[in-house]
């Protein structure tokens, strides 16, 4: 299968421990290194207040558009591998993390293989820290279950005040070709 006939995915990346920018860069490099996967674009980076578990540092978040020959399950396993290789520890739900990579959308596909693989991401429409960067690179992407575009969801989501523009660090680094 060629990369042109592969599936488009939208991802959310976040980090709030250590050198957050470096962790995002390493995660993107890991994604670029996946067989048959190309990073198409990245949003600006946003600093965001924590959600859920509040006693932790602020996050840096961004959205990434990729095209991959990997199935949703293969992509999830690969992304979890990147997180693990970077030292991700899952001990506190919504707690601090070196890196977090979530699959938000897989075209218009709905995938339900709980507990780990649920696409669209079950809480993406409730999270300003996900929708704000996502609206930069995919404002017209449609949530297949809600029928709303990313832009429409962003207009009504709570918590937008906790999302602050941080940098355009990744704009040029994320315009890649097939790996």
- In the set 100, 113, 140, 173, the catalytic residue is 100
- In the set 20, 44, 97, 127, the catalytic residue is 97
- In the set 88, 90, 93, 113, the catalytic residue is 88
C-alpha torsion 3→83→124→172, nearest 10? -50
Find tokens 């999270």 and name the residue: 127
- In the set 8, 49, 67, 102, the catalytic residue is 102
Q: Is residue 97 flagged as an active site residue?
A: yes
Strands (E), 17-115: 37-42, 45-48, 59-68, 100-106, 111-113
Buried residues in 87-100 as b, exposed as e (16+ CB within 10 A): ebeeeeeeebbbbb
Q: Is residue 88 flagged as an active site residue?
A: yes
Tokens found for residue 53: 């578990």
Q: Is residue 19 flagged as an active site residue?
A: no
Identify the helix (H) or strand (E) that includes residue 82: helix 72-85
Strands (E), 28-150: 37-42, 45-48, 59-68, 100-106, 111-113, 117-119
Q: Which residues does the annotation mark as catalytic?
A: 88, 97, 100, 102
């Amino acid at each position: 299968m060629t990369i042109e006939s592969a599936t488009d995915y939208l991802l959310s990346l976040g980090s709030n421990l250590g050198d957050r920018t470096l962790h995002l860069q390493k995660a993107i490099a890991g994604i670029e290194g996946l067989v048959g996967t190309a990073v198409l674009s990245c949003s600006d980076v946003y600093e965001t207040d924590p959600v859920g578990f509040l006693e932790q540092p602020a996050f840096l978040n961004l959205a990434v558009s990729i095209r991959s020959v990997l199935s949703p399950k293969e992509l999830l396993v690969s992304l979890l591998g990147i997180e693990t290789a970077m030292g991700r520890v899952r001990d506190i739900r919504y707690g601090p993390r070196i890196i977090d990579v979530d699959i938000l959308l897989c075209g218009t596909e709905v995938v339900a293989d709980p507990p780990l693989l649920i696409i669209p991401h079950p809480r993406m429409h409730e999270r300003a820290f996900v929708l704000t960067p996502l609206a930069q690179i995919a404002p017209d992407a449609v949530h297949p279950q809600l029928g709303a575009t990313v832009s429409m969801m962003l207009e009504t989501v709570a918590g937008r005040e906790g999302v602050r523009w941080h940098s355009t660090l990744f704009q040029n680094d994320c315009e890649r070709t097939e790996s």
